[in-house]
């Protein structure tokens, strides 16, 4: 069941979204000759779950067909009321590895919640071994797994658009606090400075 706030409908009744976004294109250019500041709006899966009252987030993350059936429904609504669509309608089944995965940090999935990267250890000796393993990995073959490359080639051969790689943005501290608990990072900078320099 859709969840649309009545206030939203009242406030946007006179809005012409297509004119707004057309003007917004001018506003995003690097110049002082524009009518206002440019606006960027990008709803994510948090928003999608509430808006569509998703019964199972696990199903959303694990089943491409389920995602691909939900996204067009949402896009149709946002196109009508906001003038934009935001969600891929042909999602990827496989993904490149993340930098956190290099250190053994992976997502944990629970129904009704977003995936969360789980810190790998609280033991500095174990973490030293994790760094040994990370240093021995061949990044060229590890970062883009074979199933992802196959899907990439299949999409490319079918004339479908393929994404730019490396366009995400997570800073070093954000990465570190996914791989290790934040308090361990602070303590280990004092207790194990060489280990943290190595990290």
Based on the fold, state whether residues 65 and 108 are members of the same structural domain.
no
Based on the fold, state whether residues 149 and 190 are members of the same structural domain.
yes
Whose structure tokens read 């999608």?
A: 48
Give residue 66's pLDDT: 96
Residue 88 lies in a domain: no
Reported as a pLDDT band with limits 50, 70 and 90, residue 58 is very high
Based on the fold, state whether residues 110 and 176 are members of the same structural domain.
yes
Residue 1 lies in a domain: no
Based on the fold, state whether residues 167 and 118 are members of the same structural domain.
yes
Residue 150 sits in which domain range? 99-198
Based on the fold, state whether residues 62 and 149 are members of the same structural domain.
no
* Mean pLDDT computed over 173-199: 96
Based on the fold, state whether residues 119 and 174 are members of the same structural domain.
yes
Region of 30 on the Ramachandran plot (φ > 0 left; ψ -120 to 50 alpha; else beta): beta
Give residue 168's pLDDT: 67
Work out how many domains the chain is built from and give that number. 2
Reported as a pLDDT band with limits 50, 70 and 90, residue 41 is confident
pLDDT for residue 166 is more than 90: no
DSSP-based three-state secondary structure for 127: helix
Give residue 9's pLDDT: 77
CA distance linking residue 77 with residue 5, whole number of Å: 13
Whose structure tokens read 């994790």?
A: 130
Q: Which sign does the torsion angle of CA 73, 79, 80, 81 carry?
A: positive
Based on the fold, state whether residues 103 and 171 are members of the same structural domain.
yes
Count of CB atoms situated within 10 Å of the CB of 135? 9
Average pLDDT score over the chain: 91
Reported as a pLDDT band with limits 50, 70 and 90, residue 1 is low
* Mean pLDDT computed over 105-114: 90
Give residue 149's pLDDT: 95
CA distance linking residue 110 with residue 103, whole number of Å: 22
Give residue 157's pLDDT: 96
Residue 90 lies in a domain: no
Higher pLDDT, 91 or 112: 91
Give residue 167's pLDDT: 63
Domain edge (last residue) among 81, 110, 130: 81
Residue 140 lies in a domain: yes
Percentage with pLDDT > 90 across the chain: 64
Reported as a pLDDT band with limits 50, 70 and 90, residue 13 is confident
Domain edge (last residue) among 52, 81, 110: 81
Residue 35 lies in a domain: yes
Based on the fold, state whether residues 115 and 155 are members of the same structural domain.
yes
Based on the fold, state whether residues 55 and 122 are members of the same structural domain.
no
Range list of β-strands (E), 30-176? 107-108, 116-117
CA distance linking residue 198 with residue 67, whole number of Å: 40
* Mean pLDDT computed over 143-159: 95
* Mean pLDDT computed over 13-17: 84
pLDDT for residue 50 is more than 70: yes
Based on the fold, state whether residues 117 and 185 are members of the same structural domain.
yes
Please state which of the ranges 45-54, 153-162, 188-197 shows the lowest mean pLDDT: 45-54
Residue 86 lies in a domain: no
Based on the fold, state whether residues 77 and 123 are members of the same structural domain.
no
CA distance linking residue 154 with residue 146, whole number of Å: 12
Q: Which residue from 187, 193, 196 is spatially nearest to 127, judged by alpha carbons? A: 196
Based on the fold, state whether residues 76 and 139 are members of the same structural domain.
no
pLDDT for residue 122 is more than 80: yes
pLDDT for residue 40 is more than 90: no
Domain edge (last residue) among 48, 81, 114: 81
Residue 166 lies in a domain: yes
Residue 89 lies in a domain: no
């Amino acid at each position: 069941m859709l969840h649309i706030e009545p206030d939203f409908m009242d406030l946007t009744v006179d809005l012409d979204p297509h004119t707004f976004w057309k003007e917004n294109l001018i506003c995003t250019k690097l110049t002082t000759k524009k009518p206002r500041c440019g606006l960027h709006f990008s709803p994510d899966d948090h928003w999608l779950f509430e808006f569509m009252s998703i019964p199972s987030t696990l199903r959303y993350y694990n089943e491409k067909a389920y995602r691909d059936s939900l996204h067009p429904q949402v896009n149709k609504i946002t196109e009508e009321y906001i003038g934009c669509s935001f969600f891929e309608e042909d999602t990827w089944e496989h993904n490149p590895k993340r930098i956190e995965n290099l250190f053994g940090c992976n997502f944990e999935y629970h129904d009704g919640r977003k995936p969360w990267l789980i810190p790998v250890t609280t033991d500095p000796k174990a973490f030293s071994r994790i760094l040994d393993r990370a240093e021995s990995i061949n990044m060229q073959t590890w970062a883009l797994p074979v199933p992802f490359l196959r899907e990439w080639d299949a999409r490319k051969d079918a004339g479908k658009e393929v994404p730019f790689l490396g366009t995400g943005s997570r800073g070093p501290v954000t990465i570190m606090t996914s791989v290790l608990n934040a308090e361990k990072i602070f303590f280990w900078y004092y207790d194990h400075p060489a280990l943290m320099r190595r990290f």
